[in-house]
Amino acid sequence: MWLPSPIYERAPQFWMLLGLLFMTGGTYVGFDYSASFLLYGFGFVCVGWSFCVSVMRSINRKNPHIVEQSSEERTEQPTAQASEQPEYG
């Protein structure tokens, strides 16, 4: 199933928001109830998934922001020949 681009690009933010809402719910309920630990657990899983998706996307994109390109991926650009250089004036 393909997702539209705006939804696909915002998925990590959605998971982060969902995780923060779960953690806020766990705080609101309080630690007297066992459900608060489940809410915190779901919250941490959602936040972790958000980071995982963000990192995997940055690795697989052409211009990664987190991981540098390996030496194998770096290729030198061919230099322009003398006849290909523009003449000025």
DSSP character string of 17-83: HHHHHHHHHHHHH-TTSTHHHHHHHHHHHHHHHHHHHHHHHHHHSSS-SSSPPPTTT--PPPPPPGG
Residue 78 is assigned to a structural domain of this protein: no
CA–CA dist 69, 29 (Å, integer)? 46
Residue 37 is assigned to a structural domain of this protein: yes
pLDDT tens, position by position, 18-77: 999 999 999 999 888 888 999 999 999 999 999 999 988 888 876 555 555 555 555 555
Residue 45 is assigned to a structural domain of this protein: yes
Residue 76 is assigned to a structural domain of this protein: no
Which pLDDT score is estimated for 85? 59
CA distances from 76 to 26, 60, 62, 84 (A): 53, 21, 16, 18
Which pLDDT score is estimated for 71? 53
Residue 72 is assigned to a structural domain of this protein: no
